[in-house]
Every structure is written in C-alpha cells, then in structure tokens.
Amino acid sequence: MSAHQVKLTPKDILEKEFKVSIRGYNQDEVDQFLDLIIKDYEAFQQEIDELRQENARLKRQVEELQKRPAMSAGTTNYDILQRLSNLEKHVFGRKLYE
C-alpha cells in the first residue's frame, strides 16, 4: 500500500457545503468545478483498482513461473539444439538423417 492515503472520496466532494458570503464565489461555477473533480477521482479510483488487479495477476503469474523447474544455468542453446536433434532422431528414426 502506498504511503499517501487519499483523504477525500467522490462522495465527500459531492456532499461538501460551502458557506455563502456577500462577496463569495459563484455557486454554479464551484459546483461545475467540483463535478469535474469528482469525475477525475472516480477515474483515478477505477485506474487504481484495475492496476491493483493486474499487479495481483502478474504476481500470481511470477509465482507460477518460479515453481516450474528451470534449466540449469550451464545449459546453452547448443545443448538445447543437440537435445532436440537427438529427440528427432528417436521419434522419426535415422531415415531423416540419412
């Protein structure tokens, strides 16, 4: 979890009431701006949720890959090709190489 916690939710912004004064802000402009902020918060929250899900999926995938037996560090492409050649000879017989 990140060190910074979001303090406001879209609902908090929507329900926020401001006191009206004689020389106050235009309430319609404030409401329109708050609507934009709410939409951004919702989009950010959706993106965060999607990234968390993807992160969890990728962590599971890494764990699965780590469980699979790996080839030894000394295995080279030549070794792999030699094994493949031997396998082909065994499966298809020596006719393929005559």
pLDDT, mean over the chain: 81
Q: Could you tell me the pTM of the whole model?
A: 0.53
Residue 4 within any structural domain of the chain: no
Residue 2 within any structural domain of the chain: no
| 84 has pLDDT over 90 | no
DSSP characters over the chain:
--SPPP---HHHHHH------TT---HHHHHHHHHHHHHHHHHHHHHHHHHHHHHHHHHHHHHHHHHSPPPPTT--HHHHHHHHHHHHHHHH-GGGG-
Residue 71 within any structural domain of the chain: yes
Q: Which residues constitute the domain of residue 65?
A: 10-97
The tokens of 71 are what?
A: 């080839």
- The model's pLDDT over 11-20, given as tens digits with 9 standing for 90+, comes to 888 888 888 7
